[in-house]
Amino acid sequence: MKKIISIVLLIFLSIWVAFWYEPTEKDKTVLNNVYKKLDLIVEKSPKKLENLYLQISKLKEKVKAKAQTYYLLSELENYSYKILTDRNNVEYSVKEVIDWDTVKVSYLWKDSNVRFIWIDTPESYITRFWYKECYWEEAKDYLKNLIEWKKITLEIDKTQWKTDKYNRLLAYINYNWENINNKLIEEWYAWEYTYDKIYKYQDTFKASQTTANENKKWLWASNTCNWERLKIEEPVSENINTVQQSYTCWEKTYCTQMTSCEEAKFFLNTCSLKRLDQDSDWIPCESLCSK
Residues 127-183 have pLDDT tens digits of 444 456 667 777 778 889 999 999 999 998 887 888 888 889 999 999 999 999 999
Residue 104 has pLDDT above 80, yes or no: yes
The pLDDT value given to residue 105: 94
Last residue of a domain, one of 85, 102, 122: 85
165 and 257 in a single domain? The answer is no
The pLDDT value given to residue 178: 94
Q: Tell me the CATH number at 104.
A: 2.40.50.90
Over the chain, what is the mean pLDDT? 78
The pLDDT value given to residue 238: 45
Q: What is the mean pLDDT of residues 7-32?
A: 64
The pLDDT value given to residue 237: 42
Q: What is the mean pLDDT of residues 207-229?
A: 71
Nearest CA to 76 out of 122, 25, 37 is that of 37
Q: What is the mean pLDDT of residues 111-125?
A: 83
The pLDDT value given to residue 25: 87
Last residue of a domain, one of 53, 85, 117: 85
Please tell me which residue, 18 or 211, carries the higher pLDDT value: 211
The pLDDT value given to residue 258: 85
Task: Classify residue 54: in a domain, yes or no.
Answer: yes
Please tell me which residue, 92 or 215, carries the higher pLDDT value: 92
Q: What is the mean pLDDT of residues 109-129?
A: 76
48 and 99 in a single domain? The answer is no
Q: What is the mean pLDDT of residues 19-33?
A: 80
Structural domain count of the chain: 3
Give dist(CA 56, CA 110) in Å, integer.
Answer: 14
The pLDDT value given to residue 13: 43
Instruction: State the CB neighbour count (10 A cutoff) for residue 233.
Output: 5
List the domain range (segments joined by +) for residue 274.
242-289
Q: What is the mean pLDDT of residues 232-238?
A: 44
Residue 121 has pLDDT above 90, yes or no: no
The pLDDT value given to residue 255: 83
Last residue of a domain, one of 85, 102, 132: 85
Each residue's pLDDT tens digit, 282-291: 678 888 886 5
Task: Classify residue 13: in a domain, yes or no.
Answer: yes
Task: Classify residue 236: in a domain, yes or no.
Answer: no
Task: Classify residue 237: in a domain, yes or no.
Answer: no
Residue 17 has pLDDT above 50, yes or no: no
Looking at 12-21, 28-37, 240-249, 258-267, which range is the least confident one?
12-21
Please tell me which residue, 108 or 130, carries the higher pLDDT value: 108
36 and 160 in a single domain? The answer is no
Q: What is the mean pLDDT of residues 96-114?
A: 89
Looking at 23-27, 147-151, 207-211, 223-227, which range is the least confident one?
223-227
With 0.85 as the threshold, say if the pTM is over it: no
Cβ-count burial 153-183 (b if 16+ within 10 Å, e if not): bbbbbeeeeeeeeeebbbbbbbeeeebbbbb
Residue 50 has pLDDT above 80, yes or no: yes
Task: Classify residue 106: in a domain, yes or no.
Answer: yes
